[in-house]
Amino acid sequence: MKWHCNFCVTKTRHILVQISHGLILSLLFGLAFGLFLMMLWNVLVPDIWGWKEITYWQGVGLVILTRLLFGSHGYQKEANQPQAGCRTHFPQQKTDWATSNSDKYYEQWWDEEGEASLEKYTEKLVEKASSQQDSKK
């Protein structure tokens, strides 16, 4: 029997194509930004400070250098920044009061009732699964 589509192969191929497209686009944007930097430098800097004009590859080099030196500033996540993600698909979200109180008493509940409740629930599920297997026989 011949398979027409192997999900793993197509998914991997799709991911590799997306990565290669991303690399090509970032390279093109970097080269275009190097051209922009060269033109901006050559228009402004020689007239203002009297420095000499730069070439295209020097402009690209400046883009790379500035990205290495200053590129990650402002993109780092702060310690108190909330977790990323949208939870609007939940029908009702807990209020801050309910969340703080439930977190506050969770440890106490688990010590007093939670572990026993979990064991009872697990036993019930095991009995239900075994009775379903017995009824199938």
**Predicted local distance difference test score (pLDDT) of residue 18:** 94
**87 located within any domain:** no
**123 located within any domain:** yes
Domain co-membership, 55 together with 110: no
Domain co-membership, 46 together with 100: no
**56 located within any domain:** yes
Domain span at residue 115 reads: 96-137
Domain co-membership, 110 together with 53: no
**Predicted local distance difference test score (pLDDT) of residue 1:** 42
Final residue of a domain: which of 50, 69, 88? 69
Determine the average pLDDT of the residues in 46-61: 92
pLDDT over threshold 50, residue 129: yes
**What is the total count of domains within the chain?**
2
**8 located within any domain:** yes
Higher pLDDT: 61 or 107? It is 61
Rg, the chain, Cα only? 30
pTM score of the predicted model: 0.44
**75 located within any domain:** no
- Counting other chains too, the contacts that 26-32 makes at CB distance below 8 Å and 24 or more residues apart are 30/60, 30/63, 30/64, 31/60
Q: In percent, how much of the chain has pLDDT > 90? A: 31
Higher pLDDT: 42 or 8? It is 42
The helix (H) or strand (E) run that includes residue 62 is helix 56-70
By the 10 Å C-beta count (0-12 exposed, 13-18 middle, 19+ buried), 33 is classed as: middle
**Residue range 30-48, pLDDT digits in tens:** 889 999 999 999 999 999 9
Sign of the alpha-carbon dihedral angle for 100, 102, 108, 111: negative
Q: In percent, how much of the chain has pLDDT > 70? A: 69
